[in-house]
Structure 1
Amino acid sequence: MADRPAGNPHATRSTIHAPNGMVATSQPLATSAGLQILLKGGNAFDAAVATAAALAVVEPMQTGLGGDMFALLYNQKNKRVEALNGSGRAPQLATQEYYLSKGYTEIPERGILSITTPGTVDGWAEILEKHGTMSFAEVLQPAITYAEEGFPVSEIIAAQWRRQESLLTQNKDAERTFLINGKAPREGELFKNPRLAQTLKAIAKDGRDAFYKGEIAHQISDYMERNGGLLRYDDLANQTSTWVNPISTDYRGYQVYQLPPNGQGIAVLQMLNILENFDLKNYVHNSAEYIHLLVEAKKLAYADRNRWIADPDFTEVPVQKMLCKEYAKQRSKQIDLSKTTEHVEPGFEIKGDTVYLTVVDKDRNVVSFINSLFDAFGSGIVAGNTGVALQNRGVAFSLDEKHLNCLMPGKRPLHTIIPALVLKDDEPYLTYGVMGGDMQPQGQVQVLLNVVDYGMNIQEAGESPRFRHTNEELFLESGISSRTRLELIEKGHKLVSGLDIFGGFQGILVDSQTRMLRGGSDPRKDGCAIGY
């Protein structure tokens, strides 16, 4: 790597600074779309929807109109954090009995039976209606232009797209929508999605009802019925997003906000509560002792996550117990600093692929926003001429009737996508996310500790080498030293290699003294932060 003439000579790029507004996303054209809206006088909420729509065009394997969204919002008018759950529900025909009768013990990972109701477009509409100043027609225009006139595919996205060629060829409409002569577009190749452009134009003209009650809904429903799917017109017509009360914890004087279940954001807060019982000043960053501590804290939080997180409309989720500081203190005592722990159980019992974006505007309104199809291109299904890839979020349900996250019609599944928002002295301080399935909570914690405990700037915090723990395996990025690897093996960790699994960070920090904006963007993605 080049040696930069800066305080951190091995960083990939400088922190972005700007006085007015800023957008950070995983694709430069999408960042530009959000910036266009800000420069035209739109606020952060308008720009967030424009950016999300643009990402649905230029990064289609990760996000789209057929997926779900979540957002944390801070509006300077009411001075409080709001949370929007824009996740879809299981179709009314999706029952445990149906899948079991077909011989399934688990919901298929891909294909037509993995599809749940898309929540994205309704979530966009909610944000614009409650906080926006622009119409759908205005904020969707950049996305429509990219879909209709085409865009040159960026480097990392081209590689991710290429890895999904075989999936896309299994569905005729997916193949003709997302492949060119049976192949994914190459880096720099112009790609158009005219079918998606028409869908976006319909929404621009008639709003969310064009997607959920108009011709698009009929096309999706008819396709599902003809091809053995379970999603129907009524599922789409009845889809609603939900404004919910955010959950939070105090970490060393910073108020960290997440959405409540059915999302996994509570795992972030539990990890922070556990780690607060340790003085991280005694731990060298990314040393074996440091990584071991974080992995063991992650195991404790994820054990509770896997046991308790489900749709609160269908079951009681013990949120207050999970967020209790005393409970975290007791859990922290279970960590053995000398060796790894296997088979971690939940701490108590009760009887009875993804894109992230963030926008801050000149008034310091903030949106922390995440939009996802779950796996790359979701189910791998495109319904007819809509140009929309439909998510495979149904795979997150269990077919075990005793499990809290068991499949039921109209139920929302356990969700992995989680935006984060951090306040300092009741004002926005850091809006960020780390996309990537169950990497998201552990990635968010690593980035926040980099800022709060280790004093890194927003760019360094996002690009610093990360780890990912899954099941009993520990993945380490190449920047983590061989000495650290050896010491982790001695503590009992099973180290394995991986690529493109460490998440994608985007973040904006509001300087509490100057009110200036500082942006960071992950070199693991194609994107950037841009301000003005």
Structure 2
Amino acid sequence: MTGHQVVGPGVVVTDSELCASLGLGVIRDGGSSVDAAITTALCQGIVHPHLSGIGGGGVMLVHDGRKNESVVIDFGETAPSRIQEKILQHDLQHKSGLLVGVPGMLRGLHQAHQLYGRMPWHDVVVRAANIAKEGFNVSDSLARAIDSQKGKNVSKNFRAMFLPRGQPLPPLSTLKLPHLATLLERVASHGMEEFYHGNVSEEIALTVQANGGVLTRADLANYSSVLQEALTSQFKGYQVHVPPPPSAGGALLYFLNIIEGFKFTEQNQEAEFQEGRVQALRQRGHVVQRVEHLSLVLGAERRGDVMHGVTDPRSTEASAQAITRPSPRVQIKPGS
């Protein structure tokens, strides 16, 4: 991790020192931890647009220590209403708009702020907007992502932002995103109406359709984030809370339950843990497939019931017992 900041009872951790500092400022100025998370998430979407952003979605888990309860806000992207399986069989390289889902990021962050925010919405969002307006240094990760697009059929706007004069932006160069800054300022002042119902929604829909997609203004207007209960389990005496499917949180709990049930010897504890972790992750791969399948087939209403077998430690005892005693690390050969 390259960015972590601590203030009083608050901690902000990201892979961007700039965004961690921004979130820290929110806490220092009296904002809640959720206020800080919102500002930090928006900042991450600005400095790492290849990994995150308001055009996508996500999930947030909030634990209320006073009430001892965890709430999950699911704001993942959804498929446009007109999408059909046969449509996705087209050449997606020439119809990239078909890969665009209904963005949920802003809707979900806004709901989180309504439930747990302390600082005004405008202040929370504008702090991130200022980063886009004033500029930031291009990270190595972003520079590599931009360079990978050199020579490809990218949009005019992409070339203007990231490939000036046909050359990819190098690491540490300054990048400003004034159009994104303006959009975030409008969202800060006018709320969700600006993005999901106003002129912005029309611009998004028309751009997607111009690239072969089927997203409509109605899809944006009808989008809503979903409140869910967190999955809960125990690990080494600690209570662990994770989001339900389609997040991989259930698979993480399954993995932890297997590791907890595995008995390590004092002599080779580190080597055995590493090998046990690898074998447990192999088990986890099957669980991820199972979770994804259940999410698709059964839908959100029944996910809590079917996940019981994944989160219940008793269900993983057989898996833990099935893991063979690992060999000391010195006996593991390259390529094995």
TM-score (norm 2): 0.88
Aligned to 2:238: 254
Aligned to 1:176: 160
Q: Cα gap change, 1:316/1:129 in structure 2, threshold over 3 Å: closer, same or farther?
A: closer
Contact 1:273 1:328 in 2 (8 A): yes
Q: Does 1:68 align with 2:57?
A: yes
Aligned to 1:116: 101
Q: Does 1:146 align with 2:146?
A: no
Aligned to 1:32: 21
Output aligned runs, 1:387-406, within 5 Å: none
Q: Does 1:335 align with 2:314?
A: no
Distance (Å, rounded) in 2 between the aligned partners of 1:163 and 1:227: 21
Residues 59-68 or 146-155, more deviating: 146-155
**188, 192, 212: which one aligns with 1:208:** 192
Contact 1:136 1:203 in 2 (8 A): no
Q: Does 1:21 align with 2:17?
A: no
Q: Please state whether the residue corresponding to 1:187 is helix, strand or coil.
A: coil
- The CA deviation at 1:333 is 2.6
Deviation string, structure 1 residues 327-386 (Cα, Å, up to 9, x no partner): 2001223223359xxxxxxxxxxxxxxxxxxxxxxxxxxxxxxxxxxxxxxxxxxxxxxx
- The CA deviation at 1:108 is 7.0
**113, 134, 139: which one aligns with 1:128:** 113
Contact 1:88 1:239 in 2 (8 A): no
Q: Does 1:97 align with 2:83?
A: no
Q: Cα gap change, 1:78/1:152 in structure 2, threshold over 3 Å: closer, same or farther?
A: same
Aligned to 2:331: 487
Which residues of structure 1 form unaligned runs of 5+?
1-11, 340-482, 496-532
Deviation string, structure 1 residues 74-110 (Cα, Å, up to 9, x no partner): 234433221111112111121113234x3x7xx7799
Distance (Å, rounded) in 2 between the aligned partners of 1:23 and 1:319: 30
Aligned to 2:285: 302
Distance (Å, rounded) in 2 between the aligned partners of 1:45 and 1:16: 15
- The CA deviation at 1:212 is 1.1
Q: Cα gap change, 1:127/1:172 in structure 2, threshold over 3 Å: closer, same or farther?
A: same
Q: Cα gap change, 1:110/1:77 in structure 2, threshold over 3 Å: closer, same or farther?
A: farther
Q: Which amino acid aligns with 2:101?
A: T
TM-score (norm 1): 0.57
Structure 1 runs, 4 residues or longer, greater than 6 Å off? 107-110
Aligned to 1:292: 275
Contact 1:83 1:244 in 2 (8 A): yes
Higher-helix-fraction structure? 2
Q: Which amino acid aligns with 2:311?
A: L
Contact 1:113 1:229 in 2 (8 A): yes
Q: Please state whether the residue corresponding to 2:241 is helix, strand or coil.
A: strand
Q: Which amino acid aligns with 1:176?
A: A
Output aligned runs, 1:343-362, within 5 Å: none
- The CA deviation at 1:67 is 1.0
- The CA deviation at 1:206 is 1.1
Q: Does 1:221 align with 2:205?
A: yes
Higher-strand-fraction structure? 1
- The CA deviation at 1:210 is 1.2
| Two-structure CA RMSD over aligned residues (Å) | 2.8
Contact 1:84 1:244 in 2 (8 A): yes
Higher RCO, 1 vs 2 (CA within 8 Å, ≥6 residues apart): 1
- The CA deviation at 1:301 is 2.1
Which residues of structure 2 form unaligned runs of 5+?
none
- The CA deviation at 1:316 is 4.4
Q: Which amino acid aligns with 1:65?
A: I
Deviation string, structure 1 residues 425-461 (Cα, Å, up to 9, x no partner): xxxxxxxxxxxxxxxxxxxxxxxxxxxxxxxxxxxxx
Distance (Å, rounded) in 2 between the aligned partners of 1:140 and 1:191: 19
Identity score, percent = 25
Q: Please state whether the residue corresponding to 2:212 is helix, strand or coil.
A: coil
Contact 1:57 1:147 in 2 (8 A): yes
